[in-house]
């Protein structure tokens, strides 16, 4: 893994942790019980993980397409 990839992963991890903390705090402040908050956090994490997967798939395939040489006929 290159240095910039590791840096991007660290930044994404920090942002995810900050987002999780803010979301957890908002649910607790709104008066939800721990079970409800945990269920919502699980659902939100699945949605965000799938969104990150889709974005990374698009970004990486676009980058690979740019690197591939055009066939010469």
- Give the pLDDT confidence of 27-52 residue by residue, as tens digits: 889 998 888 888 888 888 788 788 88
Residue 71 lies in a domain: no
Instruction: For residue 51, tell me if it sits in a domain.
Output: yes
Given a cut of 70, whether residue 3 has pLDDT beyond it is no
Write a three-state SS string for the chain: CCHHHHHHHHHHHHHHHHHHHHHHHHHHHHCCCHHHHHHHHHHHHHHHHHHHHHHHHHHHHHHHHHHCCCCCC
Its pTM stands at 0.47
Predicted confidence at residue 59, as pLDDT, reads 81
Rounded mean pLDDT, 55-66: 76
| Domains identified in the chain, total number | 1
Question: In the predicted model, is pLDDT for residue 65 greater than 80?
Answer: no
Task: Give the domain range for residue 18.
Answer: 3-66
Asked if residue 72 is part of any domain, the answer here is no
């Amino acid at each position: 893994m290159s240095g910039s990839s590791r840096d991007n992963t660290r930044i994404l991890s920090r942002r995810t942790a900050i987002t999780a903390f803010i979301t957890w705090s908002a649910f607790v402040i709104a008066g939800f019980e721990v079970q409800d908050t945990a269920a919502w956090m699980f659902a939100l994490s699945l949605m965000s993980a799938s969104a990150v997967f889709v974005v990374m798939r698009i970004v990486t395939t676009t980058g690979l397409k740019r690197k591939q040489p055009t066939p010469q006929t």
